[in-house]
Structure 1
Amino acid sequence: MKAKSLTFRIFINTFLTGTFIYFFCTLIFISTVYKYFEKQIFNELETESQFLIYPILSDNLEEIKNIETTTRITLIHPDGTVYFDNQISPDFLDNHTNRTEFQKALKNGSTKISRYSSSMTEKNLYYAKLLPNKDVLRISCTQRTIWNLISELKAVLITVFLLAIFISGAAAHIIARRLLSPLNDIDLDNPDSSKTYYELQPFLKRIADENLEKEKQEEIRQQFTANVSHELKTPLTSISGFAEIIKQGTTDQKTTVDFAKSIYEESQQMIALINDIIRLSKLDAKSISLEKENFSLKETCKDAKHVLEASAAARNISMSIDGDEGIIYGVRPVVYEMVYNLIDNAIKYNKKNGSVEIKIKTMTENYNPKKTTVVLMIRDTGIGIPKNEQGRIFERFYRIDKSRSRAMGGTGLGLSIVKHAAKYHDAIILLNSEENKGSIFTVIFNQ
């Protein structure tokens, strides 16, 4: 089913509202006028009764009978017997004891009531008054019902109705256009510059924020693509060059082995880069299939330290682990990648004969003993990070010293993986570094 346009919805709702208001106002108007005239008739009946009291009390009923009037005049004894009626012989009238107007007149002195005829096409209006001699004077007349009034005015009402439909339709069309004009004029590329309704400002702000985020993501994507292309092109060029020389068969055994070693090292660099990109992509998309569990952060640090001991020993760098178990809730392989990269960087950018200290500490809040914080601190005695570079070290492919990083076999993604792994676990990373004195990376896990 095809969805209705907003223009159509506004038009039809405005049109129906206008039509409903017409019917409602017409009904109220006719009802008010009808009640007004009914009240006037009752007043006239009451006034007429005042003129009839004197002849009645003087027993001059013949004078009353000769009065030319469209109203019906009836005189009733206290026992309900009708002894005079100017339109029908009293002999043909039943006792009026049970008539409502008679009973209320006896009780209250006077009353005004109305009754519909048996055909419901007319309405009888009665004014009854208790006379000084205890008789009851009743004056009545007929009035057309409100539906008869509407029927008689139907030609006028239909004309007004058609006019109301035309005006409602035209007004609905104009209103719909004016309401939608600011919406149609919104520039989705620059929503902040669009002048529209106040209620739409939060919506436009969200669009503006999303546009800005898209621009940032596109810039990151382009930069990432350019960096990946560059990082892959360099080793591929080397591999292609070495392979071409070997293919020609002009190298001796030793040179061939050296070229093969270079090809292997470059290919390993590419594999490491691709693996880092895959890990980063999974962290970005939060598509890690492993479940979270409670495990020891200290044991994870020991595992990473054990793997990197050979790299540290090659540069005579000492490593130590201290602290409690540091039980955290997370994905063990992801935390291992984070710890591994932090320790690996501490070794790569350390000085010869330097040191790497790994400390784990669990803290409990005084006001909430069940809430714990596990702090991981990795300190090195390396080259440090300049103040002006510290804000960018977690960016992808960002290297402070590109030549040193490449010589160390770095992909430029290590700290970016650390950042995303911490974010995945809602952890906080703090950096304290000074050039030529070393760095301290602190990761805070709130459990």
Structure 2
Amino acid sequence: MTKKIFLSIITICIMTLLAAIFLVTALLYSRSAEIASAEVRTDARLIASAVEQSGGNYLDKTDFGGNIRVTWIASGGNVIYDTDEDPDSLENHSDREEISQAFDSGEGSSSRYSSTIMQKTVNHAVRLKDGSVIRVSGVHSSLTAELMKALSPMLAILIAVVLFSVLAASMVSRNIVRPINNIDLSHPKIKKNYKELAPLLEKLNSQNAKVSRQMDELQSSREQFSLMTESMEEGLIIADPKLIVLTCNSSALRLLGAGSFTQGQSVYALNNSDVFRRCLLNALGGRRSECILRTGDGQREVIASPANSIDMVCGIVVFIMDVTEKQELETMRREFTSNVSHELKTPLTTIYGIADMLANGMVQSGDVAEFGGNIRSEAERLINLINDIVSLSKLDEDAAPHENENIELFALAEEVLDRLKLNAEEKGVVTSLSGEKVSITGSRTILSEVLYNLCDNGIKYNVSGGSLSVKISHIPQRVIITVSDTGMGIPKQYLGRVFERFYRVDKSRSSRIKGTGLGLSIVKHGVLYHNGTVRVDSEEGKGTVFTVELPIEKKQHNEEQGVF
């Protein structure tokens, strides 16, 4: 804007100066031309009067100088006298404009321009009494010639004026633009600026208020979006078509195991595995894609969806979820299904085989009772397995009865040991119960199964002549149940898996011992049902100790604690 004002002022000054010079020169030229014509007319009249009085001798005696040319023309048009040329060499002048006018009316004037010498000749003729004509001619410079004469001073003046105009234009343009440059666009003040800018500044104020409201709304939306995404357990990534991250919450960084990351980097900076790449590229191609990504902390499910705009993909949205527990549960489910199928198939196969032998008469009459006992034993094993599966399923699905009764654990332990008395005698294991009477609130059925399975295992996996001891004690707000035996013990590398369903440390040894393989899993879920903890300590060849801690006041059951 400053440049435009500057150039406009300079242009106006130069054009104004040139126009002024031309007009002044033209006026001066017009005035000088009038003066020159008047002088020629006066000279013609004076000379004509002198010739009337003195005759031709006046012309011969008088020196007219070089400023004017005097010519005397006879009535027929022939030149009688001329100050510049030989009269005989001159042609007839009767056709000349000023001569013709003088013959007719007594006086005549004319002017002729010569482009060669850029001069104008002014002529005036006066008729004498004898019919001859005196003509006086004077030379006057043309306007072009006058301008050419004034060219040098005009250029000097023009240069001086241009320099002055440059300085003035520079100062004026800066002064004009300064108030505009000093306008505070955020808070424009109308009264302190040009009145002509008032409509613009008012509109600017209105736009500023509107933009400010929109920015506040946008900031609020961003904060709300950030708060929502940061509170998500799932990871969220939004990237543009070049896979540059536009937004990314902290859960995504945590789940992908990314270290330092700033928005504006490529999404591959979060994870550069082939599986992750293929998933993102499929989404970028317009197809929703899912994959399971394995990281150091577990397994992540990645769902990448394209963000479509009419007929093109303008970005992708990626969700990341921690499915480690889900995958583990799925693995456990498959293993459980496989194990259940195997455990059910074994006794059924035995029962089917014996029944087939009995049906085909392949069993002697004396052995029928023995084969019948085997069928009963395998059927009992099936029943126990099904009962354990049902109990475990109820605990898993939180379908166990929500009993909140007062249970005296010492008396409950006595009942359990009494039920296992025959088993202990057959194995040659001595049982004992010690401690104090402590009551808690909970489910008597579930706690009975917990104690029964711990004690039953302590007897089954004990050595002949060994011992099993149960101790009931308590600390503030918690009761401690300790079941210890002097049996085979469990190697340390297997201690972390003994609570898994159907897991057996020594399958060859366990196959000789009756059991479903679900006892300790039921113990674990029964303890968790009561918001307690269970741990195992064992030394191979010396025995095993199970320690259960339960809160005395049973808290409200959390449904999620029944799912494993």
Tell me which amino acid in the other structure corresponds to 1:234: T
Partner of residue 516, structure 2? 411
Residue pairs, 1:262-411, within 5 angstroms: 262-364=374-476, 372-411=477-516
Which of the pair has more CA radius of gyration? 2
Change (3 A) 1:295 1:254: same
> SS of 2:238's equivalent?
helix
For structure 1, which runs of at least 5 residues remain unmatched after alignment? 1-27, 42-145, 155-159, 165-178, 187-192, 365-371
Partner of residue 167, structure 1? none
The TM-score with structure 2 as length reference comes to: 0.45
Distance 2:327 2:472 in 1: 40
Change (3 A) 1:30 1:256: closer
Partner of residue 133, structure 2? none
Partner of residue 183, structure 1? 238
Partner of residue 197, structure 1? 247
Distance 1:352 1:332 in 2: 31
Distance 2:248 2:348 in 1: 57
Distance 1:29 1:434 in 2: 82
Residue pairs, 1:6-25, within 5 angstroms: none
The offset of 1:263, in angstroms, is: 1.5
| Match among 330, 335, 351 for residue 223 of structure 1 | 335
The offset of 1:29, in angstroms, is: 8.0
Distance 1:209 1:277 in 2: 31
Asked if 1:210 is matched to 2:331, the reply is: no
Distance 1:259 1:411 in 2: 22
Change (3 A) 1:227 1:202: same
The offset of 1:415, in angstroms, is: 0.7
The offset of 1:200, in angstroms, is: 5.4
Distance 1:194 1:216 in 2: 33
Preserved contact between residue 501 and residue 521 of structure 2 (Cα < 8 Å): yes
Tell me which amino acid in the other structure corresponds to 1:361: S
The offset of 1:400, in angstroms, is: 1.6
Distance 1:387 1:204 in 2: 33
> SS of 1:357's equivalent?
strand
The offset of 1:256, in angstroms, is: 2.5
Partner of residue 430, structure 1? 535
Change (3 A) 1:194 1:339: farther
Change (3 A) 1:279 1:210: farther
Distance 1:209 1:382 in 2: 45
Distance 2:491 2:244 in 1: 44
Give per-residue Cα distances to partners, 1:254-288, cap 9 Å, x unaligned.
22322222111111111111111111111122222
Asked if 1:421 is matched to 2:491, the reply is: no
Change (3 A) 1:424 1:36: same
The offset of 1:253, in angstroms, is: 1.8
The offset of 1:308, in angstroms, is: 0.5
Distance 2:245 2:187 in 1: 46
Distance 2:470 2:362 in 1: 51
The TM-score with structure 1 as length reference comes to: 0.56
Change (3 A) 1:262 1:182: same
Tell me which amino acid in the other structure corresponds to 2:248: Y
The offset of 1:417, in angstroms, is: 0.8
Tell me which amino acid in the other structure corresponds to 1:255: D
The offset of 1:299, in angstroms, is: 1.2
Preserved contact between residue 237 and residue 252 of structure 2 (Cα < 8 Å): no
For structure 2, which runs of at least 5 residues remain unmatched after alignment? 1-183, 212-225, 227-235, 256-299, 302-319, 553-564
Tell me which amino acid in the other structure corresponds to 2:489: G
Change (3 A) 1:35 1:338: same
Give per-residue Cα distances to partners, 1:214-239, cap 9 Å, x unaligned.
21111111111111111111111111
Distance 1:262 1:197 in 2: 68
Q: CA RMSD in A?
A: 3.9
Preserved contact between residue 344 and residue 382 of structure 2 (Cα < 8 Å): yes
Distance 1:357 1:33 in 2: 93
> SS of 1:390's equivalent?
helix
Change (3 A) 1:185 1:276: farther
Change (3 A) 1:183 1:255: farther
Distance 1:185 1:204 in 2: 21
Distance 1:248 1:430 in 2: 51
Change (3 A) 1:320 1:31: closer
Distance 1:232 1:296 in 2: 36
Tell me which amino acid in the other structure corresponds to 2:410: K
Residue pairs, 1:85-104, within 5 angstroms: none
> SS of 1:183's equivalent?
strand
The alignment of Structure 1 onto Structure 2 pairs a total of residues equal to 283
Distance 1:251 1:194 in 2: 79
Distance 2:381 2:405 in 1: 32
Tell me which amino acid in the other structure corresponds to 2:392: L
Change (3 A) 1:218 1:194: farther
> SS of 1:197's equivalent?
strand
Give per-residue Cα distances to partners, 1:381-404, cap 9 Å, x unaligned.
111111122111111101122243
Larger RCO of the pair (alpha carbons < 8 Å, separation 6+)? 1
Tell me which amino acid in the other structure corresponds to 1:277: I
The offset of 1:426, in angstroms, is: 1.9
Preserved contact between residue 501 and residue 518 of structure 2 (Cα < 8 Å): yes
The offset of 1:437, in angstroms, is: 1.4
Residue pairs, 1:232-243, within 5 angstroms: 232-243=344-355
